[in-house]
A and B are shown apart, each in its own frame.
Chain A
């Protein structure tokens, strides 16, 4: 008979432990959603956090390592889906939107770097933290999209900005590695080597992603009516992730590029089910439990000022980038506020770095206190991010959640009354009905 005490559960097989936690996560997340209107994603992460070494110690972080391929697949599925939602030409059609996407990420990074440096953090570590802080978690964005089903301008810009700032973050991290090589014994050679490596990662990821997208396009031609598309997509995500990992490329960038390429090449022939179907949905639950398990409060008492600086500076940087370009890009002020808030969930370091292990993804040369502050800030923004996003999209932006509920009120700046005298519209402020 299994021992149902906490000690008994801790000593149980890790696979059994994870299965138990998954069960609990689904039940508790739904209860929290029903009674407290909390996003299910948040509830799932909370359960993971409860099971983590910081609470009930049911699962150790190292227990996740054998599951990493599945977790990478879960991330890959969501990122591929994000890529398939992006229309890159929109950046060309609305240059101010392109400026917004770049500015909000870059200014967030700069603000975090300056805030940490001003607070006494080593400059190189502050820059790394700034690079990581640029990105918005694409997995949280996609998970919330599936949960809330919002539709509207803020949602579309959120997806695009999350994709762009994730790419920018990867570029910044690679750039950081080059800059960090200045302190090496032979800086010139080291910088050249690291620079070549960074170029390899960026270009290689992009090319691999494009190739994978085209492969899906070609392979899908004979399978369109057989219902095999979700299987093809998952197989592609697995192959792309493993190849990227094996070739030391960025799986995140690879899969984003693959999703975008597949959509451009295939158009309507590409049907992407949410989370690529029910298998992906199971993996997503596992993923968010794992993110909860990875929550770090280590050294919180010492590093909370830096963590707070990261959160506040990031918010300010993104707000500045968005509000500065809102009107020119066709966004109302209220929507700009909603977008700023919705972009707050931070990306897990492990996701960005494509680390081999979940235990402690540590960039070499990174100050440990700054790293702790970054992990603490990521914990707070991952846990609170879904709630902030939900509030931003539903209460602030008032975008549809697909339920058909009537929304009262308009977004700011909308002009609805007609002042022109026309044969068909004189004196009316609404349509013909």
Chain B
């Protein structure tokens, strides 16, 4: 597996987004560690990517190293780095597109949506043996998408307001015409046919043009889960990745169900519930048609995957996921930090301190 995290760059005097991605990239150009750092669509964002990891402990160690090196580099530049799915009070119109060909293309194509895309997510890649198995896993995982949304939700505030959503970030993603989910095809050949049709229309040029919740990444040999908000700590980011890893192993080895197209009948509703209500949301099981709280579904899932987590040495990660169910997700944590009479910048500062693991 591999983890990508999109991070916020903040000015320390007002904790608004700071357009200093180039500066941070320059200062970290010779960083130690196998992780990678690159720009994102606007100049107040950066993205880091881990190396290929197989276990929770090494993934966490790499993320911590990344966090510490970025924090040091940020202090040299008087900027703070933070997690979180959205910035609480940034104005999208003030953001600047990072000057690369790809981002200019997106900006020209999507207009203001490109700047509104100043949101921050965690993407997790899981390796698959071949395209057919990748597609099977992609569709099987769709049932668990609400888990990851609810567990990672850390974007309750947008443009200075409490949106009422635990994850408002995904509303920005859904605005794109090629957002949503992958078509229900079972073989890689079928997918190739679909992709060829789409490129022939000129609507897409590459896989990167699809903003699906789960997306195949054939050049890496992975599928990529893209629904998570960037958590407020690397510990939670690693836990979510290993929770996904454990679920994938469970699905591949036990094949508890066969994905079907009808599973997607409830997909959008379940997704909305997770975004809006987080762990308290209610989802409909596509097979049994039963409703249950997302929290309860996660508890049951954890019980089923514990053995796989043990084999993968990911029990610590699953235990952290369990703790989240009762302590609350990051959206709840952010809301709890909002004090009357204090500006939202105080919340963002707490966010940055939590990312840096300072009280």
- A: residues with CB less than 8 A from B are 85, 87, 90, 93-94, 97, 151-153, 156, 224-225, 263, 267-269, 271, 329-330, 332, 335, 399-400, 402-411, 413-418, 420-433
Contact = CB atoms under 8 A, between A and B. Distances in A.
4 closest residue pairs by CB, A with B: A423-B2, A424-B49, A425-B49, A431-B40
Nearest to A424: B49
Contact of B3 (A93, A152, A403, A424): A424
Interface stretch (B90-98, B249-257, B284-292, B305-313): B90-98
A153 B78 CA distance: 8
Given A407-B99, A424-B125, A429-B38, A400 B51 contact: no
A410 B38 CA distance: 14
Contacts of A406: 96-97, 99, 107
Given A151-B18, A418-B36, A433 B77 contact: no
B246 to A, nearest CB: 17
Given A87-B13, A330-B76, A430-B102, A400 B19 contact: yes
Nearest to A154: B23
Given A400-B94, A414-B22, A424-B123, A151 B38 contact: no
Contacts of A414: 22-23, 25-26
A410 B99 contact: yes
A421 B107 CA distance: 28
Given A268-B346, A410-B22, A420-B36, 17 more contacts: A94-B76, A94-B77, A153-B23, A263-B13, A267-B349, A268-B345, A269-B342, A413-B26, A414-B22, A415-B25, A418-B37, A418-B49, A422-B50, A423-B220, A423-B222, A426-B220, A430-B102
A72 to B, nearest CB: 25
A416 B12 CA distance: 24
Interface in B10-60: 11-13, 16, 18-20, 22-23, 25-27, 29, 34-41, 43, 45, 47, 49-53
A423 B50 contact: yes
Contacts of B125: 423-424
B341 A224 contact: yes
A423 B52 CA distance: 5
Contact of A431 (B11, B38, B76, B115): B38
Interface size bracket, B side:
35 or more
Interface string B105-127: 01100000001010000010101
Nearest to A87: B12
Contacts of A153: 20, 23, 77-78
A179 to B, nearest CB: 35
B4 A432 contact: yes
B100 interface: yes
Contact of B96 (A90, A407, A431): A407
Among B1, B18, B45, B106, the one with the most A-chain Cβ atoms within 10 Å of its Cβ is: B18
A432 B123 contact: yes
Contacts of A399: 19
21 contacts: A85-B13, A87-B78, A97-B76, A151-B19, A225-B341, A269-B342, A330-B76, A400-B43, A404-B93, A406-B107, A414-B25, A416-B25, A416-B38, A418-B49, A422-B2, A424-B123, A424-B220, A425-B4, A430-B98, A432-B123, A433-B208
